[in-house]
Amino acid sequence: QVQLVESGGGSVQTGGSLTLSCGVSGYNYNSLCVGWFRQAPGKEREGVAAIHTGDGNIHYVDSVKGRFTISQRNAKKTVYLQMNSLKPEDTAMYYCAAAPATWPLLSDGICSRSRVGEYKSRGQGTQVTVSS
């Protein structure tokens, strides 16, 4: 049974930092695309970052480049999202999702962060609130 469990959300002020964790089970961990997504009220779901667990290739949305870092600890089958310099516009429900690293989700060695529908398994989400 595939299971993803997030933790680490919370409330911070502008400029603050949070680290989200996503524990992955039920998959062959070494051949996955794992993505972090967010959805704010009234807005479309947005892929924030994605990582290929096999070779570590990463893809970010432009709005978080230089501020967010996706990483993994293979032994713990956990993917992290370190979020620095948070802004009010980062406020959203964040969740992780995973799927086997195959085409079309995986292309040219990069896991897409935009093909949201290809990520078949997702966690319950964790709220991130950034106040000004």
The number of helices, as runs of H, and strands, as runs of E, in the chain is: 0, 13
CA angle in degrees (0–180, nearest 5) for 61-67-73: 85
pLDDT score at 57: 95
pLDDT score at 39: 96
pLDDT score at 25: 93
pLDDT score at 2: 84
pLDDT score at 66: 97
Residue ranges of the chain with pLDDT lower than 70? Answer: none
pLDDT score at 38: 97
